[in-house]
Structure 1
């Protein structure tokens, strides 16, 4: 086995981040090993990851017990536990952060998903998590809901780096980029050094295929079957085209927007596209497809460890697989629409479902901590 595929991926300009975190992964040295041997340069988390780590994993019982004795509420106990994991992971990744001038070495933590439709609460939670973790290489994850967009601008304007999550539609992605630029402009007006602010926009991939394929299967036609597994990659590739329209292309063939040009001259950093949900949900698909088909400079791919190891074992990186594919990507989405599958309804359903799943994971996490506090 070799990690040459991961090295080639990095050489193509794709940052490899791990989509998982736990106390055991930190204390066992596993995270440090992945950084050293698997080219991992960042970590992302979400409520589901923490629910699995704390609800079913080890290493948390003593902390939970001590906080119960001190009368710490369950919600605050969860915040403190997850913040501690993120803080320790950020310390492990700090050398990467320093070596790359802040481009990589990040650890993401999400605001309480119950605030997904509350702008002010989301903004307040982002400020609180930034204060609580107190590490420069922490990204605060904010969902790209309607209420999340102004929160993104306000948090960026306060000089806080953000991972915008749960992006499914191209229209919403353009609104996310606009919110980022608005936040940078406000930060500049407040005298904040724009070079200290970073952001990624997490565009979810595999979930789109899962939802569209379900609708294609219901049609039970040869035309529908031929389009299975095409929606997610096409959508992500068109998202990268939208990214180039704002921030410019790596080869200079697409010039940046005037608005971004002015911010870049003031020292601002690009908001990089991040491919999230890259583990396949259909076993019929190649388990590395959402990595190998989305290779483009200036992107991040956050992978569960199973996908990371699949790349090590049999992943093939052949160069840039995104640019020069936009015409085919648009044709694939158009073909799906012509079969009567509404893109707008699909992406709205996915956003609603994504928020609901994270809220359920958070509720399950609270229940697990509550149950652990009750144990002798």
Structure 2
């Protein structure tokens, strides 16, 4: 593999994370190989990724058998399976974590998505996962739904490092950054070492184009057609400008003086959903210092093979990005409705994946339960 484009991405200040994890990837050494050869310095997971991994992987059968014999319920079995993988991934990334002094080498695990609209339950689950994995390079993923905002602040205040996920809206991103500052200020008042608390804000990209393009096609005008495929990157570029504004403010400067690190923007959903678009566009068009780009392996390999990586593809286009968003509104795109629709759909999709996995795991636990066999006989 020609890794030169990945080197350029790394040199431009973009941290390359892998958006995938499975026990097979851990046991085969695939993750370690990507870390060693492809500049991968972090891992993100989500309920859909775990649902796919556990459903398709025989590598989980032995642990599922043991959980069944012990009479463990479905919810705790899910925690055991997922935290086992994440703990091992944290250990694989630990040398990166130490070499970067805690900046990278991070692995994320998400709270049960069914808790997204319950603040107290989200906090409790975050605490449980933080304790279960018990690794300093862990991120707990909390959705940025309205009820998740106070949970983010509360967990950061307790010293739990947080990956805020499912951000589509610029206004929501403003709330997320404010929650981060609130949490660190509370942690500082409690006497915590701010240098040990980390956070990223996962701003979703390609799904914005999917939804906006669908609406543009329905509008059907020439002006709408010219805007096709431009919403997602513009949205992310404007978000980056807001990030720079917040993390140059006096409020942030006070926290930085106390040892805090900024909450980095993380570009998520970077695989191309429309095959007519270049398969590297959500990577090479969002290059700037201090960001993370998490991508599935297929996208990673596409960038490595033929990605044309600029030194900076955000700062020169800031004004144009805002004009694009304004133009979308002028042709009839309701931005607020788009981003709320995407947030609702994303939470529902993860909920569905997690629930389906729970039903499947419940059947597997029952099938391997000796007590169930004796009852049938």
Equivalent residue for 2:42?
42
Task: Answer yes or no: is 1:329 the counterpart of 2:329.
Answer: no
Equivalent residue for 2:251?
259
- The 5 Å alignment of 1:1-376 reads 1-247=1-247, 256-376=248-368
In structure 1, what is the Cα distance between the partners aligned to 2:325 and 2:182? 30
In structure 2, what is the Cα distance between the partners aligned to 1:373 and 1:140? 27
Equivalent residue for 2:371?
none
In structure 2, what is the Cα distance between the partners aligned to 1:319 and 1:289? 15
In structure 1, what is the Cα distance between the partners aligned to 2:349 and 2:305? 31
Shift of 1:367: 1.6
Shift of 1:335: 0.9
* Residues 205 and 236, structure 1, Cα contact 8 Å, conserved in 2: yes
* Residues 159 and 192, structure 1, Cα contact 8 Å, conserved in 2: yes
Shift of 1:130: 0.4
| Structure 2 alignment gaps of length 5 or more | 369-377
In structure 2, what is the Cα distance between the partners aligned to 1:179 and 1:173? 10
Q: What is the DSSP-based 3-state SS (H/G/I as helix, E as strand, rest coil) of the residue aligned with 1:64?
A: helix
In structure 2, what is the Cα distance between the partners aligned to 1:324 and 1:177? 23
* Residues 47 and 358, structure 1, Cα contact 8 Å, conserved in 2: yes
* Residues 213 and 228, structure 1, Cα contact 8 Å, conserved in 2: yes
* Residues 149 and 179, structure 1, Cα contact 8 Å, conserved in 2: yes
Equivalent residue for 1:251?
none
Q: What is the DSSP-based 3-state SS (H/G/I as helix, E as strand, rest coil) of the residue aligned with 1:287?
A: coil
Q: What is the DSSP-based 3-state SS (H/G/I as helix, E as strand, rest coil) of the residue aligned with 1:16?
A: strand
Shift of 1:373: 1.8
TM-score w.r.t. length of structure 2: 0.97
* Residues 23 and 58, structure 1, Cα contact 8 Å, conserved in 2: no
Shift of 1:312: 1.1
Q: What is the DSSP-based 3-state SS (H/G/I as helix, E as strand, rest coil) of the residue aligned with 2:58?
A: coil
* Residues 209 and 230, structure 1, Cα contact 8 Å, conserved in 2: yes
Moved over 4 A (4+): none
In structure 2, what is the Cα distance between the partners aligned to 1:230 and 1:153? 33
In structure 1, what is the Cα distance between the partners aligned to 2:80 and 2:180? 28
Query: 1:320-363 CA distances to partner (integer Å, 9 max, x unpaired)?
Result: 00012111001111111111110000000000000000000101
In structure 2, what is the Cα distance between the partners aligned to 1:96 and 1:117? 34
* Residues 54 and 368, structure 1, Cα contact 8 Å, conserved in 2: no
Equivalent residue for 2:372?
none
Query: 1:209-236 CA distances to partner (integer Å, 9 max, x unpaired)?
Result: 0000000011122211111110000000
Q: What is the DSSP-based 3-state SS (H/G/I as helix, E as strand, rest coil) of the residue aligned with 1:164?
A: strand
